[in-house]
Structure 1
């Protein structure tokens, strides 16, 4: 009997645990190591930050559902991965020995890389975790009593721009409903070379589409911008031209700011020699397997993927839900093969599909594959995207609660978009 430890209990880790259990059967031990007792549906955090959801709406206890599938759960949290010893050190001093380790931790939020950034001792809010989004909601309620300018942005090196676009437009929709929009100038500040780049080099007509959406909502934007410092009520940013020359130094006053932080690998893996790249992201081969430690696998935001293209201000490549689903399925199939003494053969598609909510409408982006040139690339806007994301939230939470291993994107989302899976 082999022991498989899944490190991380988020979107990737929970999906990995269920799919691995289905692929390898009950003859092997599967343990999930997370932080705390609850799973959060991260894509709904922007709604939490404006009061459209509560944390209880998008969270669930994980030990029970996992236990029904014969999967153990430990919410202690990981202190350090020790690959040479095939051991995971936990924060309470215990250690877990493993035959295979699947790292799905998500990222560390590197607020420390920009002075004044972040909700804990800094001067901006975050929607990257549900507790951060709940804290943003508290501040937003105070803001509503005395509204003023808002800054929504992304720091240099961000690899997930979708939530920033979503939040800017959700704020617009919420403020219009409250009849306060005319009192709140909104500015979107981003390292992207143009609106709609999203770390992907653009997807279809994403540039024109998102410019149009921002313009209709009277949201100003500053691109090619490096946010350099945040202080109480002020965001400082340097804007560059396409050659890297400084165009303008901006000082943006605000009464509410949400800025996406850069990502690094989490502390449990950062600096582990041979395991990760300099930013702490886990190295993988085409089978989602570590090239040096063949009993370590990884999926999700924590894996090392190079930028799609160089940009004046650093931007990273996003790892969207469909890509993560593809990575997880690949690991489950390859791990099952290895446990049978066979060589891994499955390769992930690494396609990118994003459903971005805009409050009362939404945008769908499809890039197959993620890196250009592509077989399929388009972007479309419609109220159906907003409705689809609401339905997706409900379905995914039900999936996590039941232990369902159906590939949501491949079975439902691609079919709804009229797209067949492309290898």
Structure 2
């Protein structure tokens, strides 16, 4: 009998649990450690923040699902990992021993690295459904008393797609309410150019996103380093290629949403040879830590080197399709080890993204995620918005049912292939 433990029950941890079950032997036991009993679909948070979704519509009761699947769910959360002892200490001081561990914690949000940043400061966030719910209340105040809006992602951020999504979703809702003409909008990003996305661009994301901003009268500042946030003002340095300060900006705002930098969670951060200086888990090509060979990691908590040097630090995103490939490879490798075989499965680390803009959107496909690539494609259209809506319903239905099929591969690739065909032949 082997004890397999997964820390985290977000996108990567929940999928990991579902995909591990078929790999286990009869007497093996699977335990998932989560922060609370509820899963929420993070890609829908921008919709929650402007009132297009209620939080209950994007949440799943994991207690019920995990019970039905025979998975032990511990909802008190992890306090500290002790990999040399094969032990996870929980927040109630109980410890769980393991034979194999999968770290799927996601990130800690580093709002504290910039004075005044975040929900406890003066800006909104869509990183968590709690934050998105607060952002909704702030948005209604903006609608009642319109003023300047600043949206973006700070230095060290590694998830830029949601910032672009929220910018354009907010813009769409303002137009629907006939308020757009009273709300100047500025996009502030650490990316060296619009559409970099932490990936050095995909297809023509630079041209597509710049065009969208010009069309929607959105100003932008790139290579931006946010110094501090005060009530109603963001202080930003625009950095030149040589690292010098090109220009200082004092941006007034009535509403601001800025994505923070990520770091590893406190339960694993600072463990020598397990994590890098930011607290992300070091893995080999099999998603396994080189020092602690029975520890795997998947999702946003994994350490990935940047695509290249940039004037302001820019992280690499971990998209859903990429995470799914990590999950599948890890499940197969643990299954092999349980049967005294060597792990051989490797994730593809491809990137697929549907960025919803409220009434249109941009899709991109990068294979592999970091250039040079075999596939480097992007497209814009109304179909992206409807594909994102359809995927949300599809994904949540699968999570509630506890199904482990490859969601992104089956759903998104089919729709991207349809979109490619229509670009060549609109009648298809």
**The two structures share one fold, judged by TM-score above 0.5:** yes
How far is 1:26 from its partner? Answer: 4.3
Deviation at 1:28, TM superposition (A): 1.1
- Whether 2:24 is the aligned partner of 1:24: answer yes
Tell me the number of residue pairs that the alignment of Structure 1 and Structure 2 aligns: 418
Q: Deviations over 1:295-336 (max 9, x none)?
A: 101100000000011100000010000000000000000000
The 5 Å alignment of 1:104-119 reads 104-119=104-119
Query: In the TM superposition, what is the alpha-carbon distance from 1:241 to its structure 2 partner?
Result: 2.3
Instruction: Please name the residue that 1:198 is paired with.
Output: 197
Deviation at 1:100, TM superposition (A): 0.7
CA distance in 1, matches of 2:50, 2:163: 14
Compute the displacement of 1:25 (Å).
4.8
The normalised TM-score by structure 2 is: 0.96
Confirm whether residue 91 of structure 1 aligns to residue 82 of structure 2.
Answer: no
Length-normalised TM-score, structure 1: 0.98
Deviation at 1:239, TM superposition (A): 0.5
Shift of 1:417: 1.7
4+ residue runs of structure 1 moved beyond 3 angstroms?
none
Deviation at 1:274, TM superposition (A): 1.8
2:190–2:222 contact (8 Å) kept in structure 1? yes
SS at match of 1:116: coil
Q: Is the 8 A contact 2:391 2:411 kept in 1?
A: no
Counterpart secondary structure, 2:131: helix
Is 2:385 the partner of 1:386?
A: yes
Query: Residues 344-364 of structure 1: CA distance to partner in whole angstroms, max 9, x if unpaired?
Result: 000000001111000111110
- 1:27 aligned counterpart, secondary structure: coil
Residues 1:355 and 1:26: Cα distance change in structure 2 (over 3 Å): farther
User: Offset at 1:23?
Assistant: 2.2
Corresponding position: 1:290 with 2:289: yes
User: Which SS does the other structure have where 1:327 is aligned?
Assistant: helix
Aligned to 2:13: 13
Is the aligned partner of 1:52 residue 2:30? no
- 3-state SS of 2:24 partner: helix
Q: Distance in 2 between matches of 1:305 and 1:365?
A: 20
* Residue number in structure 2 paired with 1:398: 397
Matched residue SS, 1:187: strand
Deviation of residue 243 (structure 1)?
Answer: 2.6
Shift of 1:27: 2.9
The runs of 5 or more residues in structure 2 that have no matched partner are 419-428
The unaligned stretches of length 5 or more in structure 1 are none
Residue-by-residue CA offset, 1:6-65 (whole Å, 9 max, x unaligned): 100100000000000122254310111001110000000000000111110100110111
Q: CA RMSD in A?
A: 0.9
Cα deviation digits, residues 367-423 of structure 1 (max 9, x gap): 10011110000110111111111111111111111111110122221122229xxxx
CA distance in 2, matches of 1:23, 1:181: 53
Structure-to-structure mapping, 1:105-254, within 5 angstroms: 105-120=105-120, 122-254=121-253
Is the Cα–Cα contact under 8 Å of residues 77 and 91 in structure 1 kept in the other structure? Answer: yes
